[in-house]
Structure 1
């Protein structure tokens, strides 16, 4: 069995370090925490958890701090996750199994693992994913280089890498909303200092673009993404990321569609197996009305995502609802109703609150029995979605279903209007008319009392609404009060 050393450098990570320590205890034989100057309880938490804690005087050099931690490790393999990164479920067991199988292959220096950025301030919402080096052999020639956005090198060169299966991944919360700006400003400051001392290296283009993207300085993002693409340099684990960021930035700035198409096509020429770029192409074709070609690229994007192990940046996970919905629209246009229903179900299960796809879905299932429609809707909607579902059903005139779900979801009794609507939907028109008359009588009286309370004249709108008998009653009461 291989021995694993878990290392981390920290400063004021009291919020994140408990989860990191809990995660590492499941996989590591030793835990090394290098503190760079915390003034919270980070250090105490690490000591209490049984970690070996060392102090390092911060010198604006991430590589030096990480290499100090590595020098303390004695395991066969080193796992160097940041304090805001962690595994879930059975990931530790899977990684241990992989390392035991790989250990005898001395041609492999390090492992690349899928990283998933989530926003913990927004219900752990998916941001994007990419591949990053986080596990490597404990060898003296493997050390980090670079004061900021440090990279692991083997005697100054790229180490021999192996990609872990896609079902092994790490969650990263460092770009959550409330802390992202602070990190971006820190990183930009360090990058600018490096550039002032040594000049603007090609390897700075991506981190600079990332900083400016997070800070919403989009013209600078375009400048550095363009420079990186023109340089021809590819970044392991983030090779398509520059194109995706460039495309998103052009969309944010509402640049001409021709510019966006040019970048998508350039990206596809270089990375034809990118699921994200194939999706982007399919979306643009859909907008142009070329539905046949759009369907081809959207299906290709899904196939590539399912079957190809891509060592690339990706944000397609947050776009599945759109891909499925567009394929539903295309299937509907082709009069393939059953296929359209399947796509719409998948889309709304990913994102239940997209009105376009809900309306299109309901048009197809609208003529089916209420029981069938309820069966479909129950596959998508839960109580947390009740506001959207009730509003959508009411807007499209699905009165029976509206009343059915309101009865299920709302604990309070029906309003008088709902009761009248229920009676009307059952075909009892005489009783419905009586209930509506009661509702109108109360409404008219409320208008009259409100106007009298404010001591105002009757407005032109009220005169349009109130029947003559109620207008006469208003003036009778008004004259008595005067």
Structure 2
């Protein structure tokens, strides 16, 4: 008997089907494909992998189509997959171990984690997991029921039990682009509406309908469906914690923290042996300014995950992000906010050690270190994390060195850049500016200009930097014809006037419209150590927004003397924005200047009364006669929040004392 049959139903899947079938080559003994009406090359592609291709007339019933595929399977085991899913060759040893050693039991099927990539772009995915029962023994009477989000059953032969396995299936079917291409939402909603009209909705169906609304960004409808699902469901069913976390997450997103906290404490607390409970609890503490409590929760979440990993236990309940990535990211943000840079850098390093392919984390760490340590020390640290024999990793380090404008790091990693194709034209322009090579700068700025908006801004800034350094407007005049971004086009004209005529508009409001771009230019001049040009540029283009952005940037990379100089200027003009006031508040609190800290935090909430996390600080540190005032402000702004248990306890204690 064949060992494994993979059963699939497909329609118009020519784009992703090859990836799926390629991933099965070393594992499946046979592949059964039921086609429900493809009009593209799906069946032609499938024919390159299997002869078991069967036509089937679609009747708006996934279970019926699935069962048709099972009918043709001859393997000992059946694995059900979709065309937008695939297996990883790295997992083959675990698959083979199971398939060779597990004995089939007629009433037992296996639940596998589906790793979902749900982001807008394949290189910027959000990752979630969901459990799906997809693996089961053949010839035991196991089949599918329910027309959508079909479930396995034994029917009248008894109850089907489910066992979790650590065998991953990877899924990209709900990436936004794929949803748009396949109109999955409309198709699924048609089936759901038919089921509702016939009163055939089970708790599980309400859960899956909630997921459908959530993917469609209809959060209110998703909330209602999740609540209906949880109302009658047993907490022992495998999908229950996924529904619960989904409900809590949506309540939190809608700023209904009272409800999200209640569900967390009343239901999610039953899963204290997993990280999810502590990570989600930590988010509530952090949101309302209880930073020490949040830190304790995030740290506990990480410790629980590490302990479970050491014991070879299932690490997460619902989503791997709650066990490390999310709590670590929040710890980094809290520690930077509280000006505890040492702890922030420690956790940045931990995150990078876990996943050194994350360019955002690498850049954040390298940028901070580049201002606070020697190039040799930064180079030494990065060499401990990255493999010099790995070309991809060296390319990433080189790109980061280029972004940081650090000649020493560029020199260290440039020998690994052996292929000219690894450089974009914009990279070459950037390198020429860093190396002060005007001839090279002129050469590469004359090449074709990419029309992508993101690269357009990057390329334009690099071109402008050279123009400012060498006082040469010609490349800016050439690039003018190619700029599609109206904002950049107007600013480009302004820069040409500045360089050629040393003048700018008298109306300063015009400059406020370009505050983000002016900040990027100023920041790059500083990074490139063009200090005289930086001072001149900032003086000429100075606006409240630009100075606030610069002050907060210097604060974020621990250049505190520079930051305080700019903050002083803004303070004297009464032009500190919310972020500046908040930074100054936390800075003075760390220095134990509590009275000054309260003054800055008070000014901050006057600008943004909705800053939920600042009220706890003000109630904690304000003078006794002012505590009631801030409590009333908080209750007025957030009437529901004061009844949250930990908030109520805190307020009661502070008012009584």
Contact 2:106 2:141 (C-alpha < 8 Å) held by counterparts: no
Q: Distance in 2 between matches of 1:272 and 1:358?
A: 32
The residue number in structure 2 matching 1:179 is 178
**How does 1:454-465 map onto structure 2 within 5 Å?**
460=506
Q: Is 1:206 aligned to residue 212 of structure 2?
A: no
Q: Is 1:374 aligned to residue 379 of structure 2?
A: yes
User: Could you report, residue by residue, the CA deviation over 1:109-146 in whole angstroms, capped at 9, with x for unpaired residues?
Assistant: 21111110125842272420122111101134211111
**How does 1:267-416 map onto structure 2 within 5 Å?**
267-306=267-306, 307=308, 308-309=313-314, 312-314=317-319, 316=321, 320-328=324-332, 341-348=345-352, 350=355, 351-353=358-360, 358=365, 362=368, 367-376=372-381, 379=385, 384=396, 402-405=406-409, 411-412=428-429, 414-415=432-433
| C-alpha displacement of 1:192 | 0.4
Computing the radius of gyration over CA atoms, which structure comes out larger, 1 or 2?
Answer: 1
| C-alpha displacement of 1:298 | 1.6
Contact 1:8 1:81 (C-alpha < 8 Å) held by counterparts: yes
How many matched pairs? 432
The residue number in structure 2 matching 1:480 is none
TM-score (norm 2): 0.57
Contact 1:63 1:148 (C-alpha < 8 Å) held by counterparts: yes
| C-alpha displacement of 1:201 | 3.3
**Do the aligned partners of residues 21 and 417 (structure 1) sit closer, same or farther apart at CA in structure 2, a change above 3 Å counting?**
closer
**Do the aligned partners of residues 70 and 375 (structure 1) sit closer, same or farther apart at CA in structure 2, a change above 3 Å counting?**
same
The residue number in structure 1 matching 2:608 is none
For the residue of structure 2 that corresponds to 1:198, the secondary structure is coil
TM-score (norm 1): 0.75
Q: Distance in 2 between matches of 1:87 and 1:216?
A: 29
The residue number in structure 2 matching 1:44 is 44
Contact 2:37 2:56 (C-alpha < 8 Å) held by counterparts: yes
Q: Distance in 1 between matches of 2:51 and 2:395?
A: 44
| C-alpha displacement of 1:258 | 2.8
| C-alpha displacement of 1:108 | 5.9
User: Could you report, residue by residue, the CA deviation over 1:395-426 in whole angstroms, capped at 9, with x for unpaired residues?
Assistant: xxxxxx7444566675445449969xxxxxxx
The residue number in structure 2 matching 1:169 is 168
Q: Distance in 2 between matches of 1:192 and 1:147?
A: 11
- Stretches of structure 2 lacking an aligned partner (at least 5 in a row): 387-392, 415-426, 438-466, 477-492, 509-535, 538-657
Contact 2:143 2:154 (C-alpha < 8 Å) held by counterparts: yes
**Structure with the greater relative contact order (CA < 8 A, sep ≥ 6): 1 or 2?**
1
- Stretches of structure 1 lacking an aligned partner (at least 5 in a row): 394-400, 420-437, 467-482
For the residue of structure 1 that corresponds to 2:153, the secondary structure is strand
| C-alpha displacement of 1:170 | 0.9
The structure in which a higher percent of residues are strand is 1
The structure in which a higher percent of residues are helix is 2
| C-alpha displacement of 1:87 | 0.7
For the residue of structure 2 that corresponds to 1:31, the secondary structure is strand
For the residue of structure 1 that corresponds to 2:360, the secondary structure is coil
Contact 2:113 2:168 (C-alpha < 8 Å) held by counterparts: yes
The residue number in structure 2 matching 1:224 is 225
Contact 1:30 1:51 (C-alpha < 8 Å) held by counterparts: no
Contact 1:417 1:439 (C-alpha < 8 Å) held by counterparts: no
| C-alpha displacement of 1:208 | 1.3
User: Could you report, residue by residue, the CA deviation over 1:28-73 in whole angstroms, capped at 9, with x for unpaired residues?
Assistant: 2222111111112222222232331112111111111111111222
**Do the aligned partners of residues 137 and 457 (structure 1) sit closer, same or farther apart at CA in structure 2, a change above 3 Å counting?**
closer
Contact 1:108 1:162 (C-alpha < 8 Å) held by counterparts: no
The residue number in structure 1 matching 2:29 is 29
Q: Distance in 2 between matches of 1:328 and 1:249?
A: 24
Q: Distance in 1 between matches of 2:188 and 2:217?
A: 15
**Do the aligned partners of residues 95 and 367 (structure 1) sit closer, same or farther apart at CA in structure 2, a change above 3 Å counting?**
closer
For the residue of structure 1 that corresponds to 2:280, the secondary structure is helix
Contact 1:63 1:150 (C-alpha < 8 Å) held by counterparts: yes
**Do the aligned partners of residues 246 and 459 (structure 1) sit closer, same or farther apart at CA in structure 2, a change above 3 Å counting?**
closer
The residue number in structure 1 matching 2:80 is 80
Q: Is 1:71 aligned to residue 71 of structure 2?
A: yes
